[in-house]
Chains A and B, each alone.
Chain A
Amino acid sequence: MNVQTQTHTAPLASGVKLAIMQKRFDGVTRKMANTLLRTARSGVINTARDFSCALVTADCELLTAADSYPIHVIGGADLMARAMLDIHPDLKRGDAFLHNSPYHGNSHAADHTILVPVFDDDDVHRFTVVAKAHQADCGNSLPTTYMGNARDVYEEGALIFPAVKVQSDYTDNRDIINMCMMRIRVPEQWRGDYLAMLGAARIGEREIMRMGAELGWEALSEHARQWFDMTERQMVEIISTIASGSARGTCTHDPLPGTPAGGIPANADVTVDAANGMITVDLTDNIDCLPVGVNLSHACARTAALVGVLNSLPRPVTPNAGSLRRIEVKLRENCCVGIPRHPHSTSVATTNLGDRVSNAVQLAMAAIDPKVGMAEGGAALPPAAGVISGHDPRNGHAFVNEVILAAGGGPGTPVEDGWLSLFCMGNAGMPFYDSVEIDEMLHPMMIETRKILTDSEGAGAHRGAPGIVTAFRPIDCDFELGFCSDGTVNPSLGTRGGGDARPARQYLESDAGEITEMTTSEHVHVRRDQRVVSMTNGGGGYGDALTRDPHRVARDVEEGWISPARARDVYRVALTPDGVVDEAATAALRAG
């Protein structure tokens, strides 16, 4: 296909109208997001912002997911809307659906989603609004939303709602609310979050109704078609600037009980066809579903591959049904990074193995063309982002909540160092990190330490971000902690000569000095005389450390990100006693 010809066949002046109307659609999701953040009851939503909002067309094509976590909705909002249509062909105005089934297009069971179909004045279904939020609890068999070791969905234990109608005529089906209140821990917190999600979805519905009344429903639908074509052309143009080629990237999740001893490899076979503007990610050459909770859902497998590609492009592209036409993702049934077969558990689908898939794609892209791709990013869900639960001695109330204190560091890229507060690739650094004071106010805990770990970065021409060390402990009580991390056995990898990051490490340390090491995925009892120490995994480096700008190295030393010894031994940069680059000595070090 000739890109220039393609570009000039469309009515280009419509670029103005398209840009304008798309801003209004983006504005709808932003209004929804604001409602969710400001009104939710659990910290994971109202402080860490673990939620997303999206709009899809009546034929289930993703129109916008502005300001959303990539892993939540990029490749799943359409699948969820499709499941709603398949299960409920008789949609009506006023309906709302509660959907969390990973076997029907959702990410994982802890992400409760409210879907609301939006109708025009003639009762024609035009759009579906999607509000998704990670719950503090979802009724699992243990008080955590990440059941990494669950052998199947039964051991996982969450209530599963495959697009269940939770409202008719704008009124709750109390039966469903009652079921949740009986199964989900701290039920009032869940009910408040449900109200917030529903409020957000209804705000989205109201806004689209207003747009339909003002601009005409046909114009809205026509906009979506044209917008998809426009962003597809942008995507073709960007892909045309990348070198064509194929490569395999492999990243490996740490072993868990019941997995291969070396861990769970994720292979991504990536092909860039610049002339035809297509990128293909083939995930079919991977092992079958495993008896653990880290299998990917269909939505997460597809999205993780898409995220790897989108992260790797030389210019950012807005993901929607149009631009995504240019990325083909091949998945296999009953594959741990494909389409899971019920009852395999996908409890931890949004982070761990999903990140490994995105990272594998980034490494493959970097192998194909040195101007694109990235190294591997640090792992999510260490104890510093675990779920704590217990009883607060200050008021006797039960609590359960995911704290977001720290997680993985960002990978080096062809042009820049890694982003420190990445969290993980699938969340793209968008979560808010908890305030120490807010956490201590809401939970009987003390956060003793949170600071970056010197010398933990993947070295490189553009280095990865370092890891973060966090130490926290219960106050006047014991509590439980659940987490399912990664990166302890297999740290994030560097690429194109860049170094690997330091592995994650986590342990309990008693006041008497006794240290109990913890593995990648655990559910532990933390005594009042113990602290949890969580050292997270930073990002891998991009390019040879010996080609790093010596002045960047000097600044890293001055700011304590790396030690003078590491500057000398790994980056081969000599500094004067004042910390200034000694150019001659550096040249000699690097030549040797």
Chain B
Amino acid sequence: MRMSIDVGGTFTDLMVDEPGRAATMFKSPTTYPDPIGGILGAIELAAQARGVGVEALLGETEILFHSTTRAINAVITGNAARTALLATEGHPDILLIREGGRTDPFNYRVPYPAPYIPRALTFEVPGRIWADGRVHKPLDEAAVLAIIAELKANKVEAVAVALIWSIVNPAHEERVAELLEEHLPGVPYTLSHRLNPTVREYRRTSSCAIDASLKPIMSDYLRTLKARLEGRGLKGQIFAVTSQGGLVDVADLAERPILALNSGPAMAPVAGRFFAEAEGARTAIVTDAGGTTYDVSLVREGALPWTRETWLGPIYQGNLTGFPSVDVKSVGAGGGSIARVDAAGLLHVGPESAGSTPGPVCYGRGGTRPTVTDAAVVLGYIDPAFFLGGQMSLGREAAREAIAREVAGPLGIGVEEAALSVLDLATESMVHAIEDITVKQGIDPEETAMIGGGGAAGINAVLIARRLRCDTVIFPDVGAALSAAGAMMSELTTEFARTAFMKTTAFDREKANAIIAELAAQAQGFFAKAGPHARDKRIDFSIEGRYPSQVWEIDVPLRGDGFAREADVAALIADFHARHTELFSFRDDGDAIEIMSWRALARCRLSDPTSIRLAQEGAVADSTRRPMYFRETGLTEAPAYRLEHMAEGEEIAGPAIVDSNFTTIVVNPGARAVRRPGGHLVVRSAA
């Protein structure tokens, strides 16, 4: 049996899966300050549902997956450890100056952002290494000891050590570590070259600082989690979800907690990829529509999207993690996004959100400003009597009044037209976010499938798909808990990289093959550590390359696992030119290609990739009809179906609604929907 736990800000989601049985989902409130109480609460619910005790359930659990927003929340709320930065002498402002850059050129009313570690806790270490690894000025150990004395006096709880060119010559960072071990025992530290051996000192320093600041809270938490679950009978392994969409052993995560920073959203594309492949789509846009944000990511040729630039907070104003992660873009557009008309008569939707308190007007909790959810209620898409499976009833009249007052009136149009406009504008923000991740990579959304995840996805997913000319929208039945499901489906992965410059005009096949062999050996070592459950082992090789004096590389996969013949080199060169043209519309055939690094992505599974699906309630023809409003039809009576009651293969035509306990899916006029054997709903948008 496998168990997946996703500790969110509000709820702890638990999914239990056992071969041969339907998966089950449970939600329990997240507890503060000790989230383990909430985890045990969810496990108790699962145990009750099976009629067994917690010990029995945990005793049967072979693998437990765990993801949490604990790390990211600590960073956002400023509750990470009191951390000091040891930087190279002359460069105390790496975290303050960042890499420059600014958005909104005419808005000087935004404060300049504080550095992740204040200057007051930043210390300059005398000693300098240059680009070729040469020691330009030796490390001043007496000065380091004096700094350590100050760290003690300042009661720092963690130390980040990030020196210039430590990636070329780590001697100074290593020596500082020895001195810290000796003179500041028990205080965790992070060395930049060990954590994130990448060039560009800001990125490396920033990741080092964030990682160190998480060590005290995450290491303790993970240790306690393991001890308490084992105390209640768990014998299996615990794997933690990473921001890279993979899994690591919890012990490894305690050493590098930054790996888990963005772990929640990273799982959505993992689950999305699974459902896309079930429909035969290799490239998919995965969307996760929540209350305040809309997260989008792109699965391309079955691969998860990666980025080396992950900002915590707004771009250029927040802090760059300096670490690769699954590339998930968020825009401030969700069910709670507020609609307003400005003085010049321009409609805006979001990024301001009503959140869960007071929430949309229709919740009746004091909200007065209309939201996207209110628009969907006004248009008859969401059944006010059956929201969240009937747990909550909504006020349609209040929503209508708010849309009339705040949108329809100022625009001089009807209420329904106003509500449609709100959805249109929210749709456009979402389309923009999707275009940002697709077109930038040279992907035409027309050639992809879209995955509609998150509770608010169904309201306008068809409209989004039509704008993108994307024909297929897939709504997984576990869509409302896409992350927890994703963890169950994800692979154990680690990437191994070797930085070694090679120009294609002087390609050394022997050296290249030696690098590949070294990476392959590292990958095999990783497979051996993964334990007896590891299967489906795979290594994908790629290079990062560029034309001479470009500074941003592009990834090009190798067709095989080495360069046995000259033809293999020619193939790589051809693939590079083709990829560059695909991304940027031109190629430079006459020029050489500079390979900067070589990569091997090792992946394996911990169990068979079985389908995760919820129990079915059996086909029942129980559709009802209710009034709803579409631009094409005006006010019309249209059928509403229950997803759990639809038969496999049953096809319906829009206009229609498909309701489930978790979400509402709008099938617009002209679109068609069918329930598939996997339990998910596929909508043809007729783009």
Contacts and interface: CB of A to CB of B under 8 A. Distances in A.
Contacts of A406: 97
A584 interface: no
Interface in B576-612: 580, 583-586, 588, 591
Interface in A1-40: 7-8, 10, 12-13, 15-16, 18-20, 23, 27, 30-31, 34-35, 37-40
A463 to B, nearest CB: 11
A446 B130 contact: yes
A418 interface: yes
Contacts of B199: 435, 437-438, 441
Given A199-B585, A449-B90, A452-B93, A417 B428 contact: no
Interface stretch (A268-276, A349-357, A423-431): A423-431
B424 A20 contact: yes
Given A27-B432, A558-B120, A195 B586 contact: yes
B337 interface: no
B199 to A, nearest CB: 5
Contact of A46 (B102, B132, B550): B550
Contact of A203 (B201, B412, B548, B584): B584
B345 interface: yes
A35 B584 contact: yes
Contacts of B92: 451
Contact of B90 (A374, A441, A448, A560): A448
A222 interface: no
Interface stretch (A150-158, A284-292, A408-416): A408-416
A110 to B, nearest CB: 18
B344 A437 contact: no
B32 interface: no
Contact of B435 (A27, A394, A419, A441): A27
Interface string A433-455: 10111101110001011111000
Interface stretch (B103-111, B213-221, B253-261, B280-288): B103-111
Contacts of A431: 100-101
B344 A234 contact: yes
Interface string A304-323: 00010011010011010000
Interface string A41-65: 1110011010000000000000000
Contacts of B99: 432-433, 435
Contacts of A69: 105
Contacts of B200: 435, 437-438
A493 interface: no
A419 B112 contact: yes
B131 interface: yes
A560 B102 CA distance: 24
Contact of B550 (A192, A234, A311, A465): A192
Contacts of B548: 41, 188, 192
Nearest to A374: B108
Contacts of A206: 585
Nearest to B549: A41
A448 B435 CA distance: 42
Contacts of B341: 15
A196 B587 CA distance: 10
A468 B98 CA distance: 13
B347 interface: yes
Contacts of A316: 104, 106-107
Nearest to B199: A437
B91 interface: yes
B108 A413 contact: yes
A509 B346 CA distance: 58
A438 B551 contact: yes
A40 B550 contact: yes
A15 B411 contact: yes
B440 A34 contact: yes
B102 A419 contact: yes
B378 to A, nearest CB: 16
Nearest to A16: B421
Given A417-B112, A449-B91, A12 B106 contact: no
Contact of A41 (B164, B343, B428, B550): B550
Interface of B is mostly: loop
A19 B431 CA distance: 13
B290 to A, nearest CB: 22
Contacts of A30: 436
> Interface centre among B102, B107, B344, B580, by most A CB within 10 Å?
B344
Interface string B388-413: 00000000000000000000001111
Contact of A195 (B164, B165, B412, B588): B588
A475 B343 CA distance: 59
Contacts of A394: 132
Nearest to A38: B552
B565 interface: no
A246 to B, nearest CB: 22
A436 B552 contact: no
Contacts of B413: 12-13
A86 interface: no
Contacts of B98: 421, 433
A374 B344 CA distance: 25
A117 B616 CA distance: 58
B229 interface: no
Nearest to A10: B345
Contact of A39 (B136, B343, B417, B584): B584
Interface string A66-88: 01011000000000000000000
A198 interface: yes
A428 to B, nearest CB: 4
B202 interface: yes
A281 interface: no
A559 interface: yes
B112 A420 contact: yes
Contacts of B21: none
B119 interface: yes
A471 B90 contact: yes
B91 A450 contact: yes
B275 interface: no
Nearest to A47: B551
A325 to B, nearest CB: 14
A31 B432 CA distance: 12
B274 interface: no
Interface in B550-588: 550-552, 554, 580, 583-586, 588
Contacts of B118: 558-559
B425 interface: yes
Q: Which of B100, B102, B109, B200 has the most CB of A within 10 A?
A: B100
B131 A13 contact: no
A230 B421 CA distance: 17
B102 A19 contact: no
A363 B216 CA distance: 50
Contact of B432 (A23, A35, A441, A449): A23
Given A43-B551, A441-B131, A450-B93, A423 B108 contact: no
11 contacts: A16-B425, A27-B436, A46-B552, A192-B547, A202-B585, A206-B585, A234-B342, A415-B109, A421-B112, A433-B99, A440-B131
Interface of B: 90-93, 96-112, 118-120, 128, 130-132, 136, 164-165, 199-202, 341-348, 410-413, 417, 421, 424-425, 428-429, 432, 435-436, 439-440, 547-552, 554, 580, 583-586, 588, 591
Interface of A: 7-8, 10, 12-13, 15-16, 18-20, 23, 27, 30-31, 34-35, 37-43, 46-47, 49, 67, 69-70, 188-189, 192, 195-196, 198-199, 202-203, 206, 230, 233-234, 237, 307, 310-311, 313, 316-317, 319, 374, 394, 404, 406, 410-411, 413, 415-421, 423, 428-433, 435-438, 440-442, 446, 448-452, 465, 468, 471, 475, 558-560
Given A188-B548, A374-B108, 14 more contacts: A19-B346, A38-B584, A41-B549, A49-B101, A192-B550, A195-B586, A196-B584, A199-B586, A203-B584, A413-B109, A428-B105, A430-B101, A446-B136, A450-B97
Query: 7 closest Cβ contacts across the A-B interface?
Result: A429-B102, A433-B100, A428-B105, A449-B90, A234-B344, A199-B586, A12-B345
